[in-house]
Amino acid sequence: MNKFNHDSSVIIFVSSLLLLLFLTFSQRTFSQPREYKVITEGTTKGIGYVNISVIGRNIGTVTDEAGLFGLDFAELNDNDSLRFSMIGYESGTYTVNRLISDPSSTVFLRSRVYELPEMKVVYPRGKDIMLGTPVFSNALRSGFSDNNLGSELGIKVNVKKRMKVKDISLNIGVCTYDSVTYRLNLYRLSEDETWDNILIKPIYISFRKTDIEKPVTLDLKNYSIFLEGQTIITLELFRELGEGKLLFLTQFFTGTTYHRKTKEGVWTQSPGQIGMYLHGQSFR
C-alpha cells in the first residue's frame, strides 16, 4: 500500500513538472516574433520611426513609416523593459510580459507639449562660431560599424557661449547608396548627467552620392536651435537602407567620434573625428 502511494506521488510530481515545462515552452513558442504598432494615444494614427530600446541592454530597433515593428521574444527576458521614444511624444515603457499578454499588439504614446524658454538676444550682431572640424583629406575614412536601426554616429563639442545654430555640414568620403536620409540628433548634458535630446521636432538630412564631392550642408536657421554646454551631435540610421556603406572623411589627431547602438545604449568612442561641423552665432 505504501509502495503504491509512493509511486502515485512520483507520477503526480512528474506530470506536474511536464505540465509546467509545457506551459513555459508554449508561452515562449507562441510569443515568438510578433508584429506590433505604435500609435498616438486617442487615435489610430501610427507613429513612424519611433526608437525602441531594451533598457540596460544594447538591443533595439525603429518602427517603420506606418509605426509597425517586430519583436523576437527569444532575445528578451520576461523582466526586460522596452522604452519607446520619439521627438514630439512622451516616452513610454512597456515590460516584455505586458507586450506578450496584450492581444491588441499596440503601444500608445502621448503627444508632448514643449515649453519654450524665453530667449533675449542682445545686439549688436554676435560672433560667428564653428563647432567641429572640417576634414578634406581622404587618407582616413570611418562610419557606421553596421546597419542596425537606431545606430548613431557623431561628435561631441563644448559650447562655451550660448549660440544659435545656422547649419550643419558633413564631409563624406564614400557613399555607395544612390541616396540616403539620416535623422539629426542634438543631445545636451543635463544636471543629472544624462544626455537629453533638445530638438522639439525631427530633422532629417538627405543627399545623393553625387553630392559628396563637396561638403553636404543642411540649413538649420528656421529651426531656432540654441546650444550651450556639453553637446553631442549625431546622425542616426532610422530606416532600412539596404546593402551599402557611408564613410566620413576622418582626421585622426583632432578628437574622437561618438557612437552607440540604441537610445538606451552606452556612448562609446573611437579615435579620430569625423568631418561634421556646425556654423552658428554666439549671443548673450
Give the pLDDT of residue 67: 97
C-alpha cell at 136: 578634406
Q: So what's the pLDDT on residue 4?
A: 33
Cα 119 to Cα 99, 189, 191, 245, distances in angstroms: 43, 20, 20, 41
Instruction: Enter the DSSP assignment of 221.
Output: G
Q: How far apart are CA 9 and CA 79, in angstroms?
A: 33
The string of pLDDT tens digits covering residues 114-131 is: 776 665 555 556 789 999
Residue 24 φ then ψ, to 5°: -65, -45
CB-count burial class (<10 Å; 0-12, 13-18, 19+) for 259? buried
Are the C-beta atoms of 55 and 80 separated by less than 8 Å?
A: yes
Q: Catalogue all structural domains in the chain, each as residue range(s) with its CATH number.
A: 34-109 (2.60.40.1120), 128-282 (2.60.120)
pTM (predicted TM-score): 0.84
**Which residues have CB under 8 Å from 201's CB, separation 6+?**
87, 88, 223
What pLDDT is recorded for position 20? 43
Parallel, antiparallel or unpaired: strands 106-109 and 34-40: parallel
**CB 15, CB 52: distance < 8 Å:** no
| Cell 579615435 sits on residue | 271
Q: What integer pLDDT is reported at residue 28 of this predicted model?
A: 46
Using 50 as the pLDDT threshold, list the residues of the chain that sit under it. Answer: 1-6, 8-15, 17-31
CA–CA distance, 117 with 128 (Å, rounded to integer): 23
Q: Please write the tens of the pLDDT for every residue from 219-277.
A: 999 999 999 999 999 999 999 998 899 999 999 988 899 999 999 999 999 999 999 99
Query: Residue 120 has what pLDDT?
Result: 58
Task: Give just the sign of the alpha carbon dihedral 81, 188, 137, 221.
Answer: positive
Measured in whole angstroms, how far is the alpha carbon of residue 81 from the centre of its chain?
A: 16
